[in-house]
Amino acid sequence: MKPYRMICAILCSAAFGTAVPLPATAQDAGGTYAYVGARTTERYNGAGKGIEVFRTGADGSWTHVETVDGPGNPSFLIRNQAGSLLFAVHGGLEEVTSFRIDPDTGSLTLLSSVDVGGVNPVHLALNSDESFLVVANYTTGAVVSLPVNEDGTLGAVTGKLDLPGEPGPHRQQQPSSYPHQVLADPSRQVFIVPDKGLDRVFVVGLDGGGQLSILSETATREGSGPRHGDFGKNAGEVYIVNELDSTITAYTYKDHQLTPFQIVSTLPDDFTSNSRAAAIDVADDGRHVYATNRGHESIVRFVIDPETGRLSDPNWVSSGGKRPRFMMISPSDDEVLVANELSHSIFGFRISEADGTLTDARMIVETGSPVAIEFGAAK
């Protein structure tokens, strides 16, 4: 993984209490665990039950270990660098939670559940010394910070930053500010915040007391709906996927300022139906970027020019299912994993060493309404 990137553990939820014990075969020391979060509530047509925990094998197999229910619709999650704590936001709700990760089994134990000071938290990140959690509250249009105590519990909201600007032209998807991500830059004291509702990307700073401020803001193409981003290999570029017009904008990043230099479509030019872009991930070697399309039901790969950062040579493969909301490059960097929300499946695709194209599609597991995946290693 890139050294500056927070480990993205997405959409894990856990029970309010002790998790169901792992089967004896999964409690053996060592191994890797995959945590799969799901849509769980009727509002989101959820067919999931919460967090599904799988033990992963060296042969690429996933073996179900336990189901951990709890707060509905976990939306994004991160681990601390030590891998001992997990923090989650819960889509459509008003809370953020922290959990202890059992170092031997990978099981989760709830430590705290705190009001996040807004509605529908969708993304979060830790600062450099992991003393604060920064959260994007999508529906109420604000970024907030919460202190992380030494025992892993969370304190009440310390800082709140309402994002200013005029809504975009989309009548349903852009009524107000809709921050969709807080992407930590290499300092982990500054965060890139794509705002889908305002067609703007904010750069937000966090001070030592947990207060937030806008360092810069950049307007995007009208009606683009910036959603998520990722840094290039050396953090000199940021690639942001725009949900509403299915594009990726490439930016230079210097002195906390984003400057756009290219826009490319995530869709082939002969696709004429509706689609919305969702996830984006840059390979750790900085050679390729991947994004997903919901509607076209695909993953697109672009080649990144090492000198200019420009994107070229798009190549598409089917995501293997419907609504590929979440995607990530595996910890081993040799496979792209996609969670297909509406077809209740997780697919894996081998990354070609030669050109980064995706091949050898395999259905890894069937599970209800998956929307995110995270990995953790047990001792």
Average pLDDT taken over every residue of the chain: 89
Strands 74-79 and 85-90: antiparallel
* Pick from 20-29, 220-229, 315-324: least confident: 20-29
DSSP state of 307: T
Pairing state between β 345-351 and 95-101:
unpaired
Angle CA 30–36–42, to nearest 5 = 155
**Phi–psi pair at 318, nearest 5 degrees:** -65, 140
Percent of the chain with pLDDT over 70: 91
Beta strands in 29-79 (DSSP E): 32-38, 51-56, 62-68, 74-79
Residue 125 has pLDDT above 70, yes or no: yes
Residue labelled with tokens 């499946």: 345
Stretch 314-323: mean pLDDT, rounded? Answer: 98
pLDDT score for 17? 28
299 compared with 28, residue with greater pLDDT: 299
**pLDDT tens digits for 216-267?**
999 999 999 999 999 999 899 999 999 999 999 999 999 999 999 999 999 9
Question: Residue range 1-14: average pLDDT?
Answer: 37
Chain centroid to CA 63: how far? 24
Alpha helix positions (H), 207-299: none
Residue 120, pLDDT above cutoff 70: yes
Mean pLDDT of 317-321: 98
Mean pLDDT of 360-375: 93
Read off the pLDDT of residues 145-178 as tens digits, 9 standing for 90 and up.
Answer: 999 999 999 999 999 999 999 999 999 999 999 9
Average pLDDT over residues 282-298: 97
> What one-character DSSP code corresponds to residue 23?
P
Question: Dihedrals φ, ψ of 31, to 5°?
Answer: 115, 175
- pLDDT tens per residue across span 71-104: 888 778 788 988 888 888 888 999 998 988 888 8
What CA–CA distance (Å, rounded) separates 75 from 92? 9
User: With 0-12 CB in 10 A as exposed, 13-18 as middle and 19+ as buried, what is 354?
Assistant: exposed
47 — pLDDT class (breaks 50, 70, 90): very high
Mean pLDDT on 303-317: 98
pLDDT attached to residue 177: 98
Residue 276 pLDDT greater than 60, yes or no: yes
